[in-house]
């Protein structure tokens, strides 16, 4: 990247005034699928090159952590929108849209929530949270991951939902309640159920797709506001995409008038070849296979990767390589150079 192409701006983080980089290619030509990335709030402030590549490549951003309960709800009575506002300011200044992630998830919950007991208290806490957070960004965050990772790890029979605070206290209906609360707070927003491990070949993945279909069908039967399913897309590079399984899953959703999008794409590469060229090729193939399989039935409304550069990724937290080489799960390398994964996404987004 040539720094002199961009106007250096000073940092005045508190006012969120400094996150702007000069106008680039952020505005999406109409009819292409918008591409975006999860963003880390600290790097957004500290790393000029990071801001620049985000502005250059993305039409969408989503906070990797900044809108989770543990950040937004330091205590029962306090809401902290510093991180959300900071990213929204960056998005606004650079002609991007922002997605919201996430309202209801078992992870990243502050300790104080573990004392919530009983259906009434849980619904009260859920109502306050969703009304306040979605309300705060009404008309400004057009798409929300309302429900994240609700499917049981290994769904069987009636045990197809993952245990969490909400299921334990409110029963299965917590999903419908959360969606209705989000729709009340912003009737225009796209409301999404977001899920992982629904893309690859094998019974485990098939069971998880079927459980998710069951949830969506039930919501549709009850007239609940569910607009889209998010494929997180944390692909394990060693597994093939179930192209037929994914297409028929997306077709069944489409028949219920439910869209799909890709929300957290990356390719976990700890078991892929050491050779970087070979590794990058496999990664691009997996990404293309997933995007094609989805689009064969219904093109995704958006494609987001869970980070844009290998410099900032969650993957090594769980999937370091035995050979000591660094992970390469994202579209740009650690020096912000484009990899085949980015080419695959761009080709795809433009074609659609
Ligand atoms: O990438 C995120 C990581 O930095 C956080 O520590 C973690 C807990 O908040 O969440 C990670 O993001 C997860 C996302 O919110 C939901 N799907 C799986 C993602 C990767 O673990």
Extents of the domains making up the chain: 29-351
Contacts with 99 (C-beta within 8 Å, 6 or more apart), sequence order = 36, 60, 61, 62, 141, 142, 143, 144, 145, 263, 302, 304
Question: Using a 6 Å cutoff on CB, does residue 65 contact ligand 1?
Answer: yes
SS3 state at 334: coil
Q: What percent of the chain has pLDDT over 90?
A: 90
- 288 CB under 6 A from ligand 1? no
Catalytic residue among 64, 123, 149, 195: 149
**Has domain 29-351 been given CATH number 3.40.50.1980?**
no
Given a cut of 80, whether residue 103 has pLDDT beyond it is: yes
Given this model, what pLDDT does residue 244 score?
98
264 is a catalytic site residue: yes
In angstroms, rounded to a whole number, what is the distance separating the alpha carbons of residues 117 and 165?
9
The pTM (predicted TM-score) of the whole model is 0.94
pLDDT in tens, 261-286: 999 999 999 999 999 999 999 999 99
pLDDT at 156: 86
Compute the half-sphere exposure of residue 139: CA atoms within 13 Å on the CB side of its CA: 0
216 Cα: distance to centroid of ligand 1 (angstroms)? 24
Distance between CA atoms of 98 and 110, rounded to whole angstroms?
A: 24
Contact between residue 88 and residue 98 where contact means Cβ atoms under 8 Å apart: yes
pLDDT for 4 equals: 34
* Helices of type H across 188-261: 203-221, 243-255
190-195/151-156 β-pairing: unpaired
Joined together, the tokens standing for residue 47 give 């790393």
């Amino acid at each position: 990247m040539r720094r002199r192409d961009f106007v250096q701006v000073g940092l005045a983080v508190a006012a969120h005034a400094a996150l702007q980089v000069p106008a680039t290619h952020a505005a999406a030509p109409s009819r292409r699928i918008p591409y975006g990335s999860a963003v880390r709030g600290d790097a957004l402030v500290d790393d000029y090159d990071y801001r620049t590549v985000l502005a250059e490549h993305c039409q969408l951003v989503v906070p990797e952590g900044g809108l989770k309960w543990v950040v937004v709800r330091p205590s029962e009575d306090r809401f902290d929108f510093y991180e959300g506002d900071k990213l929204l300011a960056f998005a606004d200044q650079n002609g991007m849209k922002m997605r919201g992630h996430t309202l209801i998830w078992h992870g990243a919950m502050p300790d104080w929530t573990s004392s919530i007991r009983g259906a009434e208290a849980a619904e009260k806490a859920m109502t306050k949270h969703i009304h306040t957070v979605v309300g705060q960004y009404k008309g400004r965050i057009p798409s929300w991951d309302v429900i994240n990772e609700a499917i049981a790890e290994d769904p069987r029979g009636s045990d197809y939902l993952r245990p969490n605070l909400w299921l334990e206290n409110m029963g299965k209906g917590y999903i419908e309640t959360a969606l209705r609360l989000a729709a009340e707070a912003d009737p225009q927003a796209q409301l999404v159920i977001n899920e992982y491990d629904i893309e690859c070949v094998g019974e485990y993945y098939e069971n998880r797709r079927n459980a998710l279909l069951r949830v969506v069908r039930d919501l549709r039967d009850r007239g609940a506001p569910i607009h889209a399913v998010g494929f997180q897309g944390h692909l394990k590079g060693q597994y093939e995409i179930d192209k037929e399984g994914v297409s028929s899953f997306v077709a069944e959703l489409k028949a219920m008038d439910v869209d799909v999008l890709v929300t957290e794409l990356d390719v976990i590469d700890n078991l892929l070849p050491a050779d970087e060229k070979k590794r990058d090729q496999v990664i691009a193939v997996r990404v293309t296979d997933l995007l094609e399989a989805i689009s064969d039935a219904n093109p995704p409304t958006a494609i987001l990767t869970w980070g844009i550069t290998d410099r900032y990724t969650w993957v090594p937290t769980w999937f370091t390589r035995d050979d000591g080489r660094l992970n390469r799960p994202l579209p740009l390398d650690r020096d912000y150079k484009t990899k085949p994964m980015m080419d695959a996404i761009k080709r795809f987004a433009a074609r659609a």
